[in-house]
Chain A
Amino acid sequence: MTDMLTPTGTAATADVDALEVVRAARRTPQRRYALVIGGLSVALFGAFAARVLLGDYTITVPDFFRILTGTDIPGATYILMESKLPRAVLALLAGVAFGVAGALFQTTLRNPLASPDIIGVSLGASATAVVAIALWGWQGLPVSGVAVLGAISVALVVRLVAGPHGGHRLILVGIGLAAAMQSVIQYVFTRVDEYDAQLVLRWLTGSVNGVAWPTIRLLALVLAVLLPVTWWLCRSLRATELGDDTAAGLGVSRTRSELLLLLGVVLVAVGVAAAGPIAFVSFLAGPIARALNGGRTTILGSALAGALIVVAADYVADYLIPDTNLPVGVVTGAVGAPFLLWLLVRGRTGRRAA
Chain B
Amino acid sequence: MTATPTHPGTGTSRLAAAGLTLGYADTAVVHDLDLRVPDGKVSVIVGANACGKSTLLRGIARLLRPQSGAVLLDGEVIHRQPTKQVARVLGLLPQNPVAPEGVTVVDLVGRGRHPHHGTFRRWTSADDEAVAEALTLTDTLGLADRVVDELSGGQRQRVWIAMALAQGTDLLLLDEPTTYLDVAHQVEMLDLLAELNARRGTTIVMVLHDLNLSARYADHLVALRGGRVVAEGTPREVVTEEVVREVFGLDNRVIDDPVSHTPLVVPVGRHLSATNQENR
Give the CA-CA distance A185 to B83 in the complex, in Å.
Answer: 44
Q: Is the CB of B100 within 8 A of A241?
A: yes
Segment touching B, from A16-24, A80-88, A214-222: A16-24
* Residue from A25, A243, A251 within 8 A of B144 (CB atoms): A25
> Counting CB contacts under 8 A, is B45 at the interface?
no
Name the residue of chain A whose CB is nearest to the CB of B117: A235
List A contacts of B105 (CB < 8 A): 25
Name the residue of chain B whose CB is nearest to the CB of A255: B83
Query: A residues within 8 Å of B by Cβ?
Result: 1, 4-7, 14-15, 18-19, 21-26, 28-29, 110, 232, 235-236, 238-239, 241-243, 245-246, 248-253, 290, 293-297, 351-354
| Chain A min CB distance to B161 (Å) | 12
Given A28-B145, A242-B97, A249-B94, output 16 extra A-B contacts at Cβ < 8 Å.
A4-B168, A6-B133, A19-B128, A21-B132, A21-B135, A25-B105, A26-B128, A28-B104, A235-B117, A239-B111, A241-B100, A245-B92, A250-B87, A250-B111, A250-B115, A294-B102
Name the residue of chain B whose CB is nearest to the CB of A245: B94
| Chain A min CB distance to B106 (Å) | 4
Name the residue of chain B whose CB is nearest to the CB of A253: B83
Name the residue of chain B whose CB is nearest to the CB of A19: B132
List B contacts of A296 (CB < 8 A): 100-103, 107
Give the CA-CA distance A249 to B62 in the complex, in Å.
Answer: 8
- Interface size counted on chain B using CB atoms at 8 A: 56
Name the residue of chain B whose CB is nearest to the CB of A26: B106
Name the residue of chain B whose CB is nearest to the CB of A14: B136
Given A245-B94, A251-B86, A251-B114: A354 and B101 within 8 A (CB)? yes
Q: Is the CB of B101 within 8 A of A352?
A: yes
Given A15-B132, A22-B106, A245-B92: A251 and B100 within 8 A (CB)? no
Q: Is the CB of B136 within 8 A of A297?
A: no
Q: Is the CB of A249 within 8 A of B98?
A: no
B198-228 vs A, CB cutoff 8 Å, 1 = contact: the mask equals 0110000000000000000000000000000
Query: B residues within 8 Å of A by Cβ?
Result: 58, 61-63, 82-88, 90-94, 97-108, 110-112, 114-115, 117, 119, 126, 128-133, 135-137, 141, 144-145, 147, 149, 164, 167-168, 173, 199-200
| Chain B min CB distance to A233 (Å) | 10
Q: Is the CB of B129 within 8 A of A246?
A: no
| Chain A min CB distance to B139 (Å) | 10
Q: Is the CB of A1 within 8 A of B130?
A: yes
Chain A CB count within 10 A is highest, among B104, B132, B145, for: B132
List B contacts of A239 (CB < 8 A): 111, 114
Given A239-B114, A246-B92: A26 and B107 within 8 A (CB)? yes
| Chain B min CB distance to A329 (Å) | 29
List A contacts of B129 (CB < 8 A): 1, 15, 19
